[in-house]
């Protein structure tokens, strides 16, 4: 017993240190492709729902509230799998390098965003997010139509009415 412990101590002291003094000193350099806390760029999101469909933790929720679509990300359930960022067609979700996510405040791990819906000029019904409509003239599908234009910050006429 004593000999085994002595042998173990010799092995421990004869090898270099393999742990880091983190959090009292610098941690390891993060590798390329590290998956930390997600961020969502509201100006890119078109509320397609792709991220919610693939999220294994089911932490992304959509609420259809008439003129707006509200999205919630409840990140205390996030497993940092990166699937949401992988499928997002608009590259609105980014996996940051942020890994120090322990907190006493739930709101630190909560993202909420509201996307306004463009409204049909004829029937008045909401039909698509303004972010998606904004992209149409850029892609040159409907350039010249009366309700979209490249210089409009938020798309259609309803956006102007709200301002
Ligand atoms: S974040 Fe991306 S995948 Fe999720 S709803 Fe927005 S555009 Fe779609
Ligand atoms: S990283 Fe994975 S678990 Fe976290 S929000 Fe994205 S899909 Fe869901």
pLDDT of residue 138: 56
Torsion angle (degrees, nearest 10) of CA 115, 120, 123, 124: 40
Distance in angstroms between the alpha carbons of the first and the last residue of the chain = 79
Q: Are 30 and 100 in contact (CB under 8 A)?
A: no
Q: Is 4 helix (H, G, I), strand (E, B) or coil?
A: helix
* pTM as predicted: 0.75
Alpha carbon of 37 to those of 34, 77, 82, 88, 111: distances in Å? 10, 11, 10, 16, 11
Residue 78: CB within 6 Å of ligand 2? yes
Q: Report the nearest-CA residue for atom 7 of ligand 2.
A: 55
For the CA of 57, the nearest atom of ligand 2:
3
Looking at per-residue pLDDT, the higher value among 81 and 156 belongs to: 81
The answer on pLDDT for 83 being more than 60 is yes
Please state, for a pLDDT cut of 90, what percent of the chain lies above it. 58
């Amino acid at each position: 017993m004593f000999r085994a412990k002595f042998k173990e101590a010799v092995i421990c002291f004869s090898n270099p240190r393999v742990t880091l003094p983190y959090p009292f000193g610098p941690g390891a350099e993060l590798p390329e492709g590290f998956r930390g806390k997600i961020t969502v760029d509201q100006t890119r999101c078109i509320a397609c729902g792709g991220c919610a469909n693939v999220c294994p933790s089911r932490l992304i929720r959509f609420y259809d509230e008439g003129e707006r679509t509200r999205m919630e990300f409840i990140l205390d359930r996030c497993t940092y799998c990166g699937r949401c960022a992988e499928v997002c067609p608009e590259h609105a979700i980014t996996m940051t390098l942020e890994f120090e996510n322990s907190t006493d405040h739930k709101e630190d791990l909560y993202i909420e965003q509201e996307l306004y819906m463009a409204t049909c000029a004829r029937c008045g019904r909401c039909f698509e997010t303004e972010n998606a409509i904004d992209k149409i003239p850029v892609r040159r599908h409907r350039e010249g139509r009366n309700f979209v234009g490249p210089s409009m910050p938020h798309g259609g006429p309803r956006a102007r009415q709200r301002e």
